[in-house]
Amino acid sequence: MSVPDGAAAQNRETPYWASVSAGQARMRTGPGRNFPISWLYQRADLPVRVVEVYENWRKIEDPDGTQGWMLVNLLSADRTAMIVGDIRPMREAPQVGARIRYQAEPGVVGRIRSCRRGWCEIDVRGRSGFVRIAHLFGVEENERVD
C-alpha cells in the first residue's frame, strides 16, 4: 500500500513513519527531479521518517540520520523496523525472560505486526518475535501499532 498522494498526503502530520517500497529509490538534495541524486537506496522495506512534505515529494530521514527528498510513490505506509545497536533477541512473548526464538543482527529489517507497552512483534521473512522498542528504528518509544 502506497502513502496516499495529493491533498490527503499533504495534510498528514509530520513526522511520520514510512518504508522504502522500491528495490531502487533515489534520494535527492531537493524536492524535484532537477536536484542532484545524493543517495541510491537498494533496500526495499527500509524504514524512514518523513519529516517534511512538498507536493509529491517527501523529505525523509534514514536510519543513519541522512536526510533528503524522495518521490512519494517510492514510499509505502507499510510499517517496518530495523534492529539497531547490538545483536538483539527476538522473543516468544513481550517479556524480558521469555524464550528467545531468534537473534537479530544490527541492520535486520522486519515488518511490524504490532507494538505496545515497549515491545514490537516483528516478522523477518517469516520468522517473528518480540523486540524491545528501544532496539528498533522505525517506531516511537511509546507508540502503539495495531
Query: pLDDT tens per residue, the chain (146 residues)?
Result: 444 443 344 457 999 999 999 999 999 999 999 999 999 999 999 999 999 999 999 999 999 999 999 999 999 999 999 999 999 999 999 999 999 999 999 999 999 999 999 999 999 999 999 999 999 999 999 899 99
Q: Are 41 and 109 in contact (CB under 8 A)?
A: no
Residue with cell 517496518: 80
41-79 as b/e, with b when 16 or more CB fall inside 10 Å? Answer: beebbbbbbbeebeeebbbbbbbeeebbbbbbebbbebb
Q: What's the whole-model pTM score?
A: 0.88
Q: Where are the domains of the chain?
A: 7-77, 81-137
Hey, what CATH topology would domain 7-77 get? SH3 type barrels. (2.30.30)
Q: Do the domains spanning 7-77 and 81-137 agree at the CATH topology level?
A: yes
Q: How many residues does the chain have?
A: 146
CATH assignment, 81-137: 2.30.30.40
The pLDDT assigned to 12 comes to: 78
Cα separation, 9 vs 49, whole angstroms: 14
